[in-house]
Amino acid sequence: MVAFQSVILHVDMDAFFAAVEVRNNPKLKGKPVIVGGGIGQRGVVSTCSYEARKYGVKSGMPAGQAQRLCPNGVFISAGLRGYIYASACLQKIFNKYSPVVEPISVDEAFLDITGTERLFGGPEELVYAMKNEIWEEMKLTCSVGIAPGKYLAKLASGINKPDGMTILDRDRFKAIFFPLPVDSLWGVGESTKRTLNRQGVFTVGDLAATDATVLKRIFGINGGYLSVMSRGEDTSSILGTDEAQDDKSMSHETTVSKDIQDPTIIKATVLWLSDKVSRRMRRRGFVGRTVSVKIRSSDFFTITRSHTLSRPTDRSDVLYYHAMKLIPREFGMKFKVRLLGVRMSELSRRDRIDDVNYPDSPDLGQLDLSLFDDEVKTNRLTKAVDSIRDKYGEGSVLLAGTLCE
């Protein structure tokens, strides 16, 4: 019997894209099915069936590598429309079982089922009913984690896959995770692992035994998070659909077609991404204050950095300037870059800000030197380019700086 103060489910569809493909084409049943995004050698594996996983194929792996590992694999390029439809059907089912659903991606969601015992007889009964309905309606299976917080629930759903259900309380967490390496925790990547190992911290148990203040000193705010998570003391609650789907940020990222080391190409790519993001913001009437960049090196070491501006903007040149500032010098010199992303967050509606260009000097009567004729011209130019793109498509006008290779 589950007796948590709050009960959170993490529902994770089993090999979702691949499962949808197999369901739609029963001939594929039992074959190693590999679904990828992107084109040709540089594509990335989105999902693969459990048969393909036996060969060592994993999500996020370059398609070329997957092909080497599993030469008999059936490669299918992702048919996103079908997955989105399936995802919408799933969402409908989730909503029957909980009023508080936080989708994480097309095939994963958190459900807060606290207080639903009377309706369903308890968390396990609810999960059986829901899994059954998903199977009956959609012929798909999922794995479910039940825990007092989001984070533990996410770990729990991964323990017994596919078609499993796992209840994870603090004691069970200790028994299962303490002997495992630190990177089995959600959110601990390659670089965090390396830093921890250097401090003599190798297992989750070691991490739990490390003083939180030491971790905070090394990792900043994330140190506190690591400490709480490593002890299984997670009671994080979830965001409802409305909050989670609110426009909190706009971003664009790209896995480059060839690992890049040349700073000019990095610049061109960041310029292109900044242009994309700011164009989307302008189209949807937003301005943003926080600029973030995401960079992944060819050895899958990923960093994100962000900076909050003194006032919001939707201008691509401003976004580009601050994005470039956030990219550490080491990238493109020491490392090869595999993925670049630019994000704008802390968004507000443009029309709710009196004057985007001068919001920090509301009309107090201070006059300006006419230094900004260029800026006025730039704004006019941006508007003109936007209207051409509205009419003739995004590719009709390009920034010259993005034209390399």
What is the enclosing helix (H) or strand (E) of 400?
A: none
Stretch that binds another protein, among 16-24, 62-70, 224-232, 306-314 (CB under 8 A): 306-314
The per-residue DSSP string of 54-120 comes to TTT--TT-BHHHHHHH-TT-EEEE--HHHHHHHHHHHHHHHHHH-SEEEEEETTEEEEE-TT-HHHH
Binding residue count for another protein, defined by CB under 8 A: 36
Q: Which of residues 322-341 bind another protein (CB under 8 A)?
A: 322, 325, 328-330
> Could you give phi then psi for residue 69, rounded to 5 degrees?
-70, -35
Q: Which of residues 182-211 bind another protein (CB under 8 A)?
A: 195, 198-200
User: For residue 130, with 0-12 CB atoms within 10 Å meaning exposed, 13-18 middle and 19 or more buried, which class applies?
Assistant: buried
Q: E strands along 154-297, which residues?
A: 165-167, 249-260, 286-297
10 Å Cβ neighbour count for 342?
31
Binding mask 73-112 vs another protein (x if CB under 8 A, - otherwise)?
----------------------------------------
Least distance from another protein to the Cβ atom of residue 281, Å? 14
Least distance from another protein to the Cβ atom of residue 392, Å? 29
Least distance from another protein to the Cβ atom of residue 386, Å? 18
Site membership for another protein, residue 133 (CB under 8 A): no
Q: Name every residue whose Cβ is closer than 8 Å to that of residue 100 and which is 6 or more positions away in sequence.
A: 111, 112, 238, 240
Least distance from another protein to the Cβ atom of residue 309, Å? 5
Site membership for another protein, residue 369 (CB under 8 A): yes
Site membership for another protein, residue 370 (CB under 8 A): yes
Stretch that binds another protein, among 133-141, 177-185, 336-344, 359-367 (CB under 8 A): 359-367
Nearer to another protein among residue 27 and residue 329 (C-beta): 329
Q: Are 249 and 288 in contact (CB under 8 A)?
A: yes
What is the enclosing helix (H) or strand (E) of 163?
A: none
> Could you give phi then psi for residue 155, rounded to 5 degrees?
-65, -40
Nearer to another protein among residue 91 and residue 197 (C-beta): 197
Nearer to another protein among residue 333 and residue 388 (C-beta): 333
User: For residue 31, with 0-12 CB atoms within 10 Å meaning exposed, 13-18 middle and 19 or more buried, which class applies?
Assistant: middle
Sign of torsion, CA 62 108 9 102?
positive
Least distance from another protein to the Cβ atom of residue 364, Å? 5
Q: Which of 172, 305, 336, 350 binds another protein (CB under 8 A)?
A: 305
User: For residue 4, with 0-12 CB atoms within 10 Å meaning exposed, 13-18 middle and 19 or more buried, which class applies?
Assistant: middle
- Which residue type sits at 83? Y
Site membership for another protein, residue 160 (CB under 8 A): no
| Residues with catalytic function | 108
Site membership for another protein, residue 318 (CB under 8 A): yes
Instruction: Return residues touching another protein (CB under 8 A).
Output: 195, 198-200, 214, 217-220, 305-306, 309-311, 313, 315, 318, 321-322, 325, 328-330, 357, 360, 364-372, 374-375
